[in-house]
A and B are shown apart, each in its own frame.
Chain A
């Protein structure tokens, strides 16, 4: 079952959901609108390798925005720190952003319980399009769980978002 907007607000008030900063006007009927942060990480090598550390460059997006190009993946942080130890978050783009041809995640929309952080968005544009720090970019929904809860203790926990792929760590044993 999915939480309604008022239930999300209650969850934030009683500490079961973390959304920082929380602005009530960003509540939707069954989700919360989150914003794009101002840091961006891109890969600087031509062929990526899932088993190796890939070279990257991280920079700050100016207020005037950044043009996303179709042939690249852009890793960017959410402005908000978000997560929950009680409800499973699932993220998606806003329909206004999808209508511009912007993906905000690449088949990785499910967040682990206990992963409380600025999340790393995986931006990909179908055609060139300019995005701006602080723009309303996506929605997070929260889902009730069945079963005992264990919390995320994985490799992205202590990094500052956006974090490039750490698939090369432990995924090839």
Chain B
């Protein structure tokens, strides 16, 4: 089952969901809006970070054919509910993907989430713009597994840390 907006708000108050900073005006009927952080990592071939772009109030034009890693302005997560990350329809209508088929958060993963931005057409984006939404889902009770993985404490856009991929190539 998916939490409604009022249920998300209650869970934030109880401490079962982390949304920091939290603003009631960002609650939707069944999700919460998150904002884009202040910087982007531009990736080149092989997923290597080419450069970091600090976003100014004039914004930055994203181009097709590239992956840009961004981060949510908010720290987001929950030990109790599974988090799904998605874009806003206003942003999808501009042809901006917020993730590349990796929308499922782990229980217990509480951080600034890394966004994988790709675009269909060139489009200008701005720091702190409302860019996506998270939804929260009930699990079976008494789940005891918590995420303590390699992206656990991220606060900036973080590139790939999957050393298994490197191993596969060897």
Residues of A within 8 A of B (CB): 1, 43, 46-51, 54, 71-73, 75, 88, 105-110, 112-115, 120, 122, 124, 143-152, 154, 156, 163-167, 171-172
Contact = CB atoms under 8 A, between A and B. Distances in A.
Q: Give the most central of A46, A88, A152: most B CB within 10 Å.
A: A88
B54 to A, nearest CB: 18
Interface of B: 1-8, 10, 28-31, 59, 61, 64, 84, 86-99, 103, 120-126, 129-130, 132-133, 135, 138
Contact of B29 (A105, A106, A150): A150
Q: 7 closest pairs, A vs B, by CB?
A: A147-B7, A108-B92, A107-B87, A73-B95, A106-B92, A165-B93, A147-B4
Contacts of A145: 1-4, 7, 30
Nearest to B35: A171
A122 B121 CA distance: 13
Given A107-B92, A146-B138, A124 B120 contact: yes
Nearest to A171: B130
Contact of A71 (B5, B6, B97, B121): B121
Contact of A73 (B4, B94, B99, B125): B94
A150 B130 contact: no
Nearest to B33: A171
Q: Give the most central of A46, A54, A112, A144: most B CB within 10 Å.
A: A112
A88 B129 contact: no
Nearest to A87: B2
A49 B10 CA distance: 35
B3 A47 contact: no
B34 to A, nearest CB: 12
B129 A50 contact: yes
Given A143-B2, A167-B129, A75 B93 contact: yes
Contacts of B126: 50-51, 172
Contacts of B130: 167, 171
Given A110-B135, A148-B6, A72 B121 contact: yes
Given A71-B120, A149-B4, A122 B95 contact: yes
Contact of A147 (B6, B28, B99): B6
A22 B16 CA distance: 40
A40 to B, nearest CB: 13
A146 B135 contact: no
Contacts of B96: 50, 106-107
B123 A48 contact: yes
Contacts of A112: 28-31
B1 A146 contact: yes
B123 A49 contact: yes
A167 B122 contact: no
B93 A164 contact: yes
Given A71-B64, A154-B28, 4 more contacts: A50-B94, A146-B1, A147-B8, A167-B90
Contacts of A172: 126, 129
Given A71-B64, A110-B30, A148-B4, A171 B90 contact: yes
